[in-house]
Structure 1
Amino acid sequence: MKIILAVPGHLRTVPMNFFVYQTLMTMGHEVKLFDFGLKYLPYRIIKKLSRNLFNEMLERNLKNLLDNYRPDVFFTIFGFDLRKGIIEYIKSKKIISICWWLNDPLQIQRSLSIAGYYDFYFTNAKGSLTDYHRAGLKNVLYLPAGCYPPVHKKFLGAEKTYEVGFAGDWDPLRERILSELAPKVNLAIWGPWKKKVAKNSILQGCIRKNGFFTPEEMTRMFNESYIVLNIHKWFGSFNFGLNPRVFEALGCGAFHLCDWKEELAEHYHLEKDLAVYNSVEELKEKTLFYLSNPQKAEAIAQEGFLKTQREHTYALRLTEMFDRCGLA
């Protein structure tokens, strides 16, 4: 198929832009990349001066690409800054429109406002389908993120340097949880944390990579950690919705300790492919247990790795997406 893939290229913490593009190419599709992000200074200046002017420029550029390339499918990740009018223009050209939204349930209200624009709309949170259906949106389907095997992989001979590794953005909940865990373990944090936590915080000494990290750097960290910890930003607020870290960590062969989400049992055998926790106390208990039982942790990590590489790659996700859209 001929596909235009529209991505927010300025968001460095959204590496699935690259993963999806490369996977589509490997699958044999013809793909044109359209970046609606703000990597270029003139675009940033225009958007700051006038949001309408920025959108008009964006839509003019996209229309030119649509008219010249004539794709079968317009596929966007998130769809930020794509207004209803441009999606209607796409549909008027008999081009199938697809959006893959990966910020539920945290940004469900934002998502509800745009989901109806598209022919097909995919969410990372199965539990959010109720909200979409309640709003009369029948075009929304569940599809979580995945792993990208050329990046998410095991490093043979990698030495375990850290007892617990965490890679992700700062937020108050994560800070509180990691502050409770840090006195008990050798904790390594990757992400923009240094300016967020107090100078006398125990976490200052745990920050190994402050700021943005590449997918390759994250993969190395996962390979060097006995336990890779996942704390969804909506831990304690929503019991559904999977972030990409689930599949990235498991795809690297890491022992993954993740806060429980309803969808996990649909994709994995809990406590056989990964370990889960429902409270901070359980998190601390399981961390200490598996650090004391490395053979059990390694067996679980291996099962999770094999299942993820076998069943949860971006190639399989995109194959499922197109099949559900009738494009197989």
Structure 2
Amino acid sequence: MESLRKQNANAAKQGYDEGLAHGTRDGACEAVVRSVAQPPPARRGVRVLYIPQGFEALDEGIISALRPLVGELFTAPASRIAEQAAFIRPDWVFVLNGLHVFPDDHLEQIDAVRALGIKTAIWFADDPYVTEDTIRIAPRYDAVLTHELGTIPVYRSNGCANVSYMPLAVNIGRFKPQRVEAQYRSDVCFIGQAFWNRVEMFDAIARELASKRVFIAGGMWERLPNYKLLQPMIRHGWLPVEESVKYYNGAKIVINMHRATAAGVDNRNSLNLPGLSINPRTYEIAACGTLQLTDVRQDLSDHYRPGWEVETYANVQELAAKLNYYLVHEEARRTIALRGLRRTLQHHSFETRLEQVAQTLGWE
């Protein structure tokens, strides 16, 4: 009887402590969000036809940021670029990525658009993993934007006169702090495909993770040698954006691990171009007010201050050590996460980034 009483008391205390921690975090995030004012954009008179890629989080963020920024905004599917451009006669056709869902006659359509005297721009979001395709696409556009520093010299050497580095950003209307139910809570969260570098890293810390509340989502995780050990923690397949936001909010720590860039079964990068730039997930995790542990890309420090607004790791030993440290140092974890949230709201929303796009492309 006494043992049961102690168990109930411990469970009650644990529930109280968790509730207090989540409440403190939610209140602190709300204070940061309220303190960061989003200035209204300077509207241009330019008329833009936007062609989405089908990346929900990116497309929605870009469209919502473009609406108050340009004089008129139109959208069309990739199969109807030339048709809609000829009908609407915009000043610019603005394309995201130009891959995956784009038809075989994509480039012929762009040629037809340019023949009408309409300017074209493409913003690559998959560099450098598909450069066998993008080096063929880029020269057909008037202007090329890429989030990846490592691909810029190659585009220029392939005849692209107007190439600019343009980091990606986050849709802060979707990725934001929010209260979540208990089923979304975890100690450690990772959402992404099981590319081989990730398999190697997660397999090395599998026994560490097995003793924690862990949530992993994505495809190909059967590749893990220690798959059976982590299987109960893995949700297979694609995770809807709204679910990802909830899991990011419910986690104490989210791991961000960029995929390897080497040519092979996971990439179309026969030039073996390096990955120097951070992925969209970096901004998305930070926008949720959650601590992320990320591997380092060259331009990370241009966007976040490591150890201050995000935390980093260089190898599996450091990843394991920092997971263990921040799981028990709640205040340090929360402080870094809040700084990352503030930096994201101030500098890395799509509203801010599309203003940079407008200036780069000379939209008036």
1:314 equivalent in structure 2: 350
Q: Deviations over 1:82-133 (max 9, x none)?
A: 5433222212222121101011122223211111111111111113223333
Q: Deviations over 1:140-186 (max 9, x none)?
A: 11111111111111014776821110011122221221222232132
1:15 to 44, 47, 57: 57
Distance 1:134 1:28, change over 3 A: closer
After superposition, the CA RMSD in angstroms is: 2.3
| TM-score normalised by structure 2 residue count | 0.76
Alignment of 1:197-212 (within 5 A): 197=224, 201-207=228-234, 209-212=235-238
Mapped partners of 1:120, 1:24: distance in 2: 18
Unmatched segments (≥5 aa) in structure 2 = 1-45, 263-271
Mapped partners of 1:18, 1:300: distance in 2: 28
The structure with higher relative contact order (CA 8 Å, sep 6+) is: 2
Answer yes or no: is 1:34 the counterpart of 2:62.
no
Where 1:113 maps in the other structure, the secondary structure is helix
| TM-score normalised by structure 1 residue count | 0.84
Number of residue-to-residue matches in the alignment: 301
Where 1:66 maps in the other structure, the secondary structure is helix
2:153 equivalent in structure 1: 130
Whose radius of gyration is greater, 1 or 2?
Answer: 2
2:251 to 225, 232, 239: 225
Q: Is the 8 A contact 2:86 2:113 kept in 1?
A: no
Higher helix share: 2
Deviates more, 1:228-237 or 1:146-155: 228-237
1:47 equivalent in structure 2: none
Q: Deviations over 1:6-52 (max 9, x none)?
A: 1233xxx553122212222243543222223xxxxxxxxxxxxxxxx
1:275 to 311, 327, 330: 311
Q: Is the 8 A contact 1:147 1:309 kept in 2?
A: no
Q: Deviations over 1:26-81 (max 9, x none)?
A: 43543222223xxxxxxxxxxxxxxxxxxxxx3xx333211211111101111124
Answer yes or no: is 1:189 the counterpart of 2:208.
no
Q: Deviations over 1:257-282 (max 9, x none)?
A: 11100111111111100011122222
1:24 equivalent in structure 2: 66
2:130 equivalent in structure 1: 107
Where 1:15 maps in the other structure, the secondary structure is helix
1:44 equivalent in structure 2: none
1:257 equivalent in structure 2: 293
Unmatched segments (≥5 aa) in structure 1 = 37-57
